[in-house]
Amino acid sequence: QVHLVESGGGLVPPGGSLRLSCTVSGYNFENSAMAWFRQAPGKGREFVAGINLSINSIRYHYSVKGRFTISRDNAKNLMYLQMNNLQPEDSAVYYCAGSLIVGIMTTKADDYISWGQGTQVTISS
């Protein structure tokens, strides 16, 4: 059974940084995409960043480009999201997700089959 567990969320002031981690067990997504999504209260789930090392592809939502960095350690089955210069609009529950579709870097939530339980990120002074 596949399990994804996020950690690293918290409360930081505007301009602060956080590093989210996603620990994967039961499957290795090394040949397909993994991604971070977020969902703020009253809003839909939004793609934040995704990575597919098998095709050397990384994508970001335009609002986080230059501030967030996604990375993976396939050997340890871990994924990270380094978030810098955080702003109040970044506040949300952040989810990691894994796709079984090989050969593409997809940003659509429906293409991801495995999800973590989420970690809360709150940006406030």
Three-state DSSP state, 89: helix
Position 103 confidence tier, pLDDT thresholds 50, 70, 90: confident
Average pLDDT, the chain: 95
CB 91 within 8 A of CB 40: yes
- Residue 2 and residue 45: Cα distance in Å, rounded? 21
Sequential DSSP letters for 24-36: EES---TTEEEEE
The candidate with the shortest Cα–Cα distance to 30, out of 107, 108, 100, 106, is 100
Residue type, 77: N
What pLDDT is recorded for position 117? 97
CB within 8 Å of 92: residues ≥ 6 apart: 38, 39, 40, 43, 46, 121
pLDDT tens, residue by residue, 11-56: 999 999 999 999 999 998 888 999 999 999 999 999 999 999 999 9
